Amino acid sequence: MPMKGDTIIGNDVWIGQNATILPGVHIGDVAIIDLHSLVGSDVEPYTLVAGNPAKPIRKRFDDELIELLLKLKWWEKSIEEIQLLILILHENNLQNVKQMLMKMT
């Protein structure tokens, strides 16, 4: 069999029980792989995929907020910085979150 390349799993990815990820697949940051899914193609960041074969179910946020969150890379921040971000990231109004994140970038 030809080599498919490295399988790359992004940051803060949730992989459900009994999910299978095939060789060469790239899983984007903060993606969710549903349980019992067979992932044979790349998964975009902040996307929920499910099924056999796994297909995108939905994005977790709109494209603008996803772009801001990817630029933020909160998983690379210090504990102190993350504690400050928690107040912003727990905000219910996503428009407010976008505005606050835009000020930070």
pTM: 0.86
Domains and CATH numbers, the chain: 8-59 (2.160.10.10), 63-104 (no CATH)
Give the pLDDT of residue 11.
97
Helix (H) or strand (E) holding 47: strand 47-51
> Sheet of 32-33: strands edge to edge?
14-15, 32-33, 47-51, 54-59
Rounded CA separation 15/9 (Å): 10
Per run of 10 residues, the mean pLDDT along the chain (length 105 residues) is 84 98 96 98 98 97 95 92 89 91 83
